[in-house]
Each structure stands twice: as structure tokens, then as C-alpha cells.
Amino acid sequence: MKVKKAVIPVAGLGTRFLPATKAIPKEMLTIVDRPTIQYIVEEVVASGVKEVVLVTASGKSAIENHFDYSFELETFLAQKGKIDLLREVRNISRLIDVVSVRQKEPLGLGHAVLVSESVVGDNPFVVVLGDDLVVSEVPCVFQMLKVFEEYEESVVAVQRVPQEEAHQYGIVEGEEVAPGIWKVTRLVEKPVRGATSSNLAIIGRYILRPEIYSSLHRTLPGVGGEIQLTDALDILRRDRGLYAYEFQGSRYDAGDKFGYLQATVNFAMEHQELGGRFREYLREIVRKFD
């Protein structure tokens, strides 16, 4: 089954970044010189997926506009001879074909995925969360697609976290069937301390068979009336099977203030134009406070 579509939920209010996100979608906050959502989309495109379904809400039009053609801006850049910037702006609008669907109520990640059903249909698809950045030599989504092709079942990306932080994540337990690949036997959403010995935490990358929609329809709302994707994945696991993949790369939670700062610093150090100057600046800062 060929994966052609990616679903990116971007309907969240971004309350952890208020007041910055009062008028700006959190996905449009920049990491150096690109909004977070662009890094996410570039990973998807680099993995061979060109159709993107944005699950949006009121006030999120800036995200769609970012990937749209901007006649006024391109004309201005062309007239001013800013060819490099013009090329970059044009490349953004040519990255993907975008379809948007509305999540009219904030009913959880599972519900956000569910509202994409009419667009995705009876096909496997990628789900990428808009604030999870992964830096890797081989795109994380591409790594997962290879696992999906081999096992032909849904795949979730996982990373090891300190045991004392396991209660902050969805945790998987399972049998390791190949290096870094587990056949999942149990999923626990934010387990209480001591409820599991596993430290394999689900992060914001999923390759899902279309049967996930049936599982979501059967998933009852949990705390706060939200439909949890983890609960639907557990149903899917029982019905068909589910695999977890420990991806190769570094992950930054750009939806958290500290994670956002970590991402900004690390991306700046690797920036082609700014990296050298920025690393020297950090050395000066360290010497100053050492």
C-alpha cells in the first residue's frame, strides 16, 4: 500500500506560548528563519509524500497562506532583484498540494485525525504533529515508511525517555522483533509512576492504515471529553497489530518553551550562514558565565 498523504493537525490553541500565540498560530513561530510548520512539511516532502491535509481551526489561515502563491511578494522581490529570496519563496509555494479540513471543536488528537477521514479515504497515511521537530540524516518519516513497507501494519515512532519522565508520554510495551522495531503488546497513555517498566515514548510521527478510522469511531471520549489517539491505536493493535520504531535522529518538542529554545539553538548552530558566528557567540556566553 502506497502512502501518498500526510495529515498534520494544527488546530491547537498554543496556550503554552501565550501571549505570543494570541494572534499567531504556534506552528508559525520561527526556528531561526523558518516557521516550525515548514520544517515539518519539508520532512514529509523529503520522504516522498507530496499531499498534505491540514487539520485546522479558526485563526489558522496564516499556515495555509504560507504555502500559497503570493503574487505581490514575488513581484516585489523580482523588481528589487532579490533573486535568492524570490527563489526561496517560490519553492515554499511549490512544496506541497494542500487540502484543509476544520476541526470545529477541540476534542483531542484522535478527533483531529478522525476529521481527515473524508479526505484521506481508504488509504494509509502519515500523521505528523506540528510541534515535533526531528533532525536526522534520513528523514524520520522516510525511516518509518520503510518499516511500514516491511510489516504492512501501522507504525508509531518512539524514543527512550528517562523513566521518571514516562508519565508525560504515551508509552508502548512490546517484543523487539528486529533492532529498534517492536511488536506492540500494550499502550499506556501517561502512565502513573510504576505502572510500566517501559521507557519507549510515542512522539509525533505515525504511519497509519485506514482501519484507524474504524478504531477512532469506536473510541470513547476520555478525560475532558477528548478522543485519545493512543486509545484508538490500542484498538487497532488488538484488531490487526501495531509496530513501534525507535527512529534515528534528535527530536525537539517545539510546543514546549524549553524545547523550542533547544531547537532554536541547535538549528542556529547548524545554519549555513549563521552557524559559525552563532557558535562563537555561544562560546563567549559560556566564558562570560563560567
Spans of all domains in the chain: 5-255, 256-290
Q: Residues 169-214: pLDDT tens digits?
A: 888 999 999 999 999 999 888 877 777 888 899 999 999 999 999 9
| Cell (9 digits) for 155 | 507504525
pLDDT of residue 82: 83
End-to-end CA gap in the chain? 55
Strand partners of residue 56: 102
Give me the architecture of the 5-255 domain, per CATH.
Alpha-Beta Complex (3.90)
pLDDT tens column, 229-251: 999 999 999 999 999 999 999 99
pLDDT in tens, 15-58: 888 888 888 889 999 999 899 999 999 999 999 998 999 999 88
Q: What integer best gives the mean pLDDT of the chain?
A: 89
Strand partners, 227: none
User: How much is the pLDDT for 134?
Assistant: 93
Q: What's the whole-number mean pLDDT along residues 253-266?
A: 92
More confident residue, 176 or 93: 176
The pLDDT tens digits of the residues spanning 102-136 come to: 888 888 999 999 999 999 999 999 999 988 999 99
The answer on pLDDT for 253 being more than 70 is yes
From 246, 216, 252, select the one nearest 234 (Cα to Cα).
216
Task: Supply the pLDDT for residue 268.
Answer: 94
pLDDT in tens, 207-223: 999 999 999 999 988 76
| Residue owning grid cell 471529553 | 225
